[in-house]
Structures are given as structure tokens and as C-alpha cells.
Amino acid sequence: MRLVGLAYVGVVVAVFAAFRVQARTEAPPAVAPPLPPAPTLVAEPLSTTALVPVPEEPAEAVLSEVAQSESPTRDVVAPPAPRRRSYRSRRPRRYPDPPTPADWAPPEGPVRIALQAGHWRADEAPRELSGLKRNGTRWKETPEWEVNLEIVQRAGAILEEMGYVVDILPAVVPPAYRAHLFIAVHADGSNDPNASGYRVAAPRGDATGRASQVASLLAQSYGEATGIPRLPTVTRRMRNYYAFNFQRYEHALHPMTIAVILETGFLTSSKDRRVIMNDPERAARGIVEAVTAFSVTPPPAAVALAGEVSSVTNGS
Ligand SMILES: [Zn+2]
């Protein structure tokens, strides 16, 4: 009886051990099934259908969406939430406690204006922004970045003449870049040739509390200078522009840099091209007007002149 009992125990132990061994060989679970292909990042103007006047959104935000989910779950049934959480936990926020508008202070030195030519030198994008290499619109042989660069170079020349310090920035922003004001310049594209208009947006997470003021000024001055109609739609994609996302990207603006993004018009619209491609000086003037009208970035020459006048009246 005792022997039978021992044998019984032995069998149980053996079975249990075998089960454990098998379980162990099965763990960890097999590699996850292959994921469907990533969503396309290309913002080819002719690749999407926009039948309504609402134009397609620029491609930049597609980049940020891909970076956030790190998986092509956007159009897939699988719920993205747990994945996003784990992604966040692997990537700590760069500014866990970002400054607030009360902390805003102008950068040291003379008034510095940054004008970014959207998509310019995007091939230099670091890994965290690799999606940048594949977006931007075009008109025939002219890529968007050429149009953007022409406008910002003209605006920069006028501003320098006025005494501003100007940085013309490429698609990749230096880490934690600081300026008194940053304006990203882009152009839209659509397969609808009637899609026309410019639009301006402030960052969604504006830590300076001043960006919406610049956005209003720019929306007004750009429209007056160019005669292009304003599109009232401010898209989530513009507001989540990668350069504004200081929480996530190393190559982004410092949270205290006041920033806006301007979509100058549609490269696919003959009406808009008349200005942004054929008369970029007008677009440049629209940008300059907003800079000079903004209380944080008055024309340095005017400030110096005011200082001279006050020193004269003080008898020095
Ligand atoms: Zn663009």
C-alpha cells in the first residue's frame, strides 16, 4: 500500500514536472504575428480625394501620429490604447513638468526670429523624425521645400534689414531651440484644384501662452499682403506639429519659444501659386508684418530710435 502510494506520488510529480517543462518550452509566447504595413506618410497632392472645399491636412502630423503609436494601428481593428501606454512608459517625457505662461521670459540677446522652411533638408532628419523624409507636397517638378525656402529667405532678408537677428531653419530644428518667435512655413496640396487658402495655427500645448496672439496677427497680415482667402480650419495636425512637441522630440523647440505654423496656400491651386510661387515677396511681407506687429518682437531699429529719443530728452 505504501509502495503504491509512493508510486502514485511519483507519477503525479513526473506528470507535473513534464507539464512544467513543456510550459517552459512554450514560454515566452511565440513572436507576435506580423503587423500590417505602416500607413503611408507621403502627402502626394494627387493621392487623396478631397471633393469638398475642406483641404487635406498637411503631412507633418502623420509623422507625429506614427511616432506616437509606433504601430500601424490607426486603421486597424486592434485597440491601440495598451500599446500607447507601454510606448509612453518606455519613453519618459523630456519635460515632465513643462513651464507655464507665468514662467515665460524672453531669450537673452537681441530679438531673434526663426523662420523654418518646411521640409528643407528633411533628408538630414534623425531617427526620431525619420518620417519627415517622406512628406511634403509638390507642384510638378517643384517640391514644397523650394517654395517655402524662397518665402522665408525673402522674409528673413527684410527682417535683417530692420535689425532683427534671423535664423533660417531647415526641417530639423536644433534641440530645445530658443528664439523670441518661431514661424514654420509650409504649403498645402490637394487633388482638388479648387482647394485654395492659407491657414495659421498655434501649438496645441503652447507653454508660452502667447502663440495664439501671433497666430491672429499673422492670419490677418498674411491675408492682407497676399489676397489669398483664409481657411478657418485649424487642424489637429498643424497644432501637433512635430517641432512644437518638446515633450516627445529632442529636435523640437524649447517650450518657451513662441511658435506658430503657416500654411501659405495650395501649391495645387493656380490662384495660390500666383502668389506663393510667382510673387513670394508678397507672402514674405505678410510674415514680416506679423513679426513687427507682435508686442514681443517690435522692430529693433524702432526700439533703438525710441531709446535715442528718450536719452536726448533726458539731456544726455
Ligand atoms: Zn509641408
* DSSP per position, 254-315: -TTS-EEEEEEEETT-HHHHHHHTT-HHHHHHHHHHHHHHSTTS--HHHHHHHHHHHHHHTT
Structure confidence at residue 95 (pLDDT): 86
Distance CA 185, CA 295 (A): 21
Q: What percent of the chain has pLDDT over 90?
A: 60
- Arithmetic mean of pLDDT over the chain: 79
Q: What percent of the chain has pLDDT over 70?
A: 68
Give distance in angstroms: CA of 44 to centre of ligand 1.
11
Distance CA 147, CA 164 (A): 23
Give distance in angstroms: CA of 98 to centre of ligand 1.
27
Structure confidence at residue 90 (pLDDT): 61
Residues with CB under 5 A from ligand 1 (ion): 58, 118, 186
pLDDT greater than 70 at residue 10: no
Residue 11 binned pLDDT confidence (cut-offs 50, 70, 90): very low
Give distance in angstroms: CA of 156 to centre of ligand 1.
19
Structure confidence at residue 202 (pLDDT): 98
Residue 135 binned pLDDT confidence (cut-offs 50, 70, 90): confident
Q: Taking the CB of residue 305, how many other CB atoms lie within 10 A of it? A: 11
| Domains and their CATH numbers in the chain | 102-302 (3.40.630.40)
Least confident of 60-64, 119-123, 271-275, 312-316: 60-64
Structure confidence at residue 111 (pLDDT): 97
Element (H, E) at 63: helix 60-69
Structure confidence at residue 8 (pLDDT): 52
pLDDT greater than 70 at residue 258: yes
- Reading the block at residue 45, the C-alpha cell is 497632392
* DSSP per position, 145-196: HHHHHHHHHHHHHHHHHTT-EEEEE-SSPPTTB--SEEEEEEEE--S-TT--
Tell which wins on pLDDT, 82 or 59.
82
pLDDT greater than 50 at residue 49: no
Give distance in angstroms: CA of 105 to centre of ligand 1.
30
Distance CA 165, CA 111 (A): 6
Tell which wins on pLDDT, 24 or 166.
166
Residue 91 binned pLDDT confidence (cut-offs 50, 70, 90): low
Give distance in angstroms: CA of 240 to centre of ligand 1.
13
Closest by CA to 177, choosing from 190, 186, 187, 168, is 168
Strand 199-201: give its sheet, edge to edge: 165-169, 112-117, 181-188, 259-266, 199-201
Distance CA 202, CA 219 (A): 11
Distance CA 121, CA 128 (A): 15
Give distance in angstroms: CA of 97 to centre of ligand 1.
30
Distance CA 114, CA 112 (A): 7
Give distance in angstroms: CA of 92 to centre of ligand 1.
28
Distance CA 248, CA 205 (A): 12
Give distance in angstroms: CA of 172 to centre of ligand 1.
13
Structure confidence at residue 3 (pLDDT): 47
168-213 tens-digit pLDDT: 999 999 999 999 999 999 999 999 999 999 999 999 999 999 999 9
Cα distances (Å, whole numbers) of residue 235 to 56, 90, 128, 173: 10, 28, 23, 21
Closest by CA to 173, choosing from 246, 104, 88, 69, is 246
Structure confidence at residue 6 (pLDDT): 47
Least confident of 111-115, 127-131, 148-152: 127-131
Tell which wins on pLDDT, 66 or 243.
243
| Main-chain phi, psi angles of 51, to 5 degrees | -90, -20
Give distance in angstroms: CA of 57 to centre of ligand 1.
9
pTM of this structure: 0.72
Q: Are 169 and 115 in contact (CB under 8 A)?
A: yes
Give distance in angstroms: CA of 51 to centre of ligand 1.
21
Structure confidence at residue 71 (pLDDT): 33
Give distance in angstroms: CA of 186 to centre of ligand 1.
4
- Reading the block at residue 249, the C-alpha cell is 522630440
